[in-house]
Chain A
Amino acid sequence: MDKAGPRWKKGKDGKDFAALAAAHPMSSIVAELQSSLKGSKLVATLSNQGRDATLGVNLQQATLLNRAAFGRALDNAEAGKQWFQLGAEEVFYLYHGLKCISVSESKKLLSEGELWDHLCSASESFPEMYKAYSHLRSKNWVVRSGLQYGADFVAYRHHPALVHSEFAVVVVPEGVEFGGRCGRLKVWSDLLCALRASGSVAKTLLVLTVSSSICELSSPDCLEQLVVHERTITRWIAQQCREQRCEPSREEPNNEEQDHTRETVVFNYWGVILGFTVLSSLLVYKLRF
């Protein structure tokens, strides 16, 4: 499945980040985080209008949150406590997936259904986005926002400090239950734009299609009925693969221009051959007579 393999970053003094990641698997970091947060019975505070939440943790839990790449640490001067900002998918994953925090809004604890409703009303596409997020997280991939790359998420094989993300993830809902959403990748300009954007940052475009059989999206129970289909879209460069079966190329912009240049060269080549033939036959003709 590895197209070009993970791109591990280089550590100081030649530290081997791949080995470091292997020695500390993400699953155990997340498990440690889960038990630590559960024990503290922490409550995240959801913002009224938006999708984000803040969570106050102790320093040891802060380290675990950072190592598991959840949330963003907020600067503050409070001693002994660290505040984190969590995105909608992260909050719901910690609440519903890992079951290690509670969530409140306006000082009132929310039930699972209330939290789901709040997040769905803040963002229409929350069901499929969360399904995709939890699908990847449950396989121990690190998932962060991919908006800066024109994607929904980016997926890392381990912590972003150790490895570059391999996939730019676009989530596509499929099914009547998702209503008249403007799904992505329905027209060529969008698909090729996503492909080019991901290629320019050396990521493979991963399309997660979230499909539902008959299932209402009004409660988190629908999550079990949703199915995630994984597909990559890659560009195949004909010029590069003539010798043997080769891997699709991530970097494609230059190759398209080369394509046109090559065709011009071929035409010119024929012109030269023709001209040469004509000239040599004229020369032969002249020498003979």
Chain B
Amino acid sequence: IKLRRFLAERGALVLLDDKDETVGMEEIYGKIARGSYGCSWDAFQAYRHLKLLGYIVGRYDVPWTMKQIRSGDVTNSPDSTDGSSQSFGKANGACNDITKLLKGMRIDGMYPTFKVHLPNSKFKKSSPGVPSFLVCLLRDKPPPRDELEMVENKFGGIPLKFCQVDNGRVSFLSFDKVTLPSLP
């Protein structure tokens, strides 16, 4: 959803619904506002911020490639590094698989929303490698220490960035556990 909306905003994508009628921006914005498919305004703004800067961003639980990619579709998620893809996609079979997955996802405050790779022209969806970092979206209050520890333990190894969105202003914070050295 986010990529489609992102591309739709850019005027690069025309979204067609089941009946092959064009889905307008109003309807897309409405779907986002309702939190359909596990997508929220905050999540979208974080996604958009990173995509505009050339990062490779994917939903954490959604694989980069779908098992069934119907032939004839121009690739549904052109993750080109400059984000300026002009390809047109159709909202049909492949998208339905994605929406099924997204509906099943839960969006809690302390669960990674995105996996992010640094801009890389050689990025391959078939073998993406380990993400550079994961992004967790934060809610109305800063995360308490025990929740931070819990999420760090679950996704150990990969750095976590925490995203706070305020009126379109996207901030990324790191809450790193440290051990101050004992000095001589």
Contact = CB atoms under 8 A, between A and B. Distances in A.
A135 to B, nearest CB: 9
Contact of A191 (B53, B142, B145, B183): B142
A209 B179 contact: no
B180 A188 contact: no
Given A141-B180, A232-B174, A259-B169, 16 more contacts: A1-B180, A26-B183, A26-B184, A172-B145, A187-B142, A206-B180, A209-B145, A211-B145, A229-B145, A230-B178, A233-B175, A234-B174, A235-B174, A238-B172, A242-B55, A259-B49
A235 B171 contact: yes
Given A187-B141, A231-B145, A256-B169, A1 B174 contact: no
Given A186-B141, A230-B179, A238 B55 contact: yes
A22 B183 CA distance: 10
A250 interface: no
A238 B163 CA distance: 11
Of B10, B54, B141, B173, most buried by chain A (CB within 10 Å of CB) is B173
Contacts of B52: 262-263, 266
By DSSP majority rule, is chain A's interface helix, strand, loop, or mixed? mixed
B178 A233 contact: no
A211 B149 CA distance: 14
B171 A192 contact: yes
Interface in A165-194: 167, 172, 174, 185-188, 191-192
B127 interface: no
Contact of B184 (A27, A172, A236): A27
B174 A236 contact: yes
B183 A242 contact: no
A113 interface: no
A155 B178 CA distance: 15
A231 B178 contact: yes
Contacts of B119: 242
Nearest to A156: B183
A76 interface: no
B161 A230 contact: no
A262 B169 CA distance: 13
Interface in B127-172: 132, 140-142, 145, 148, 161, 164, 166, 169-172
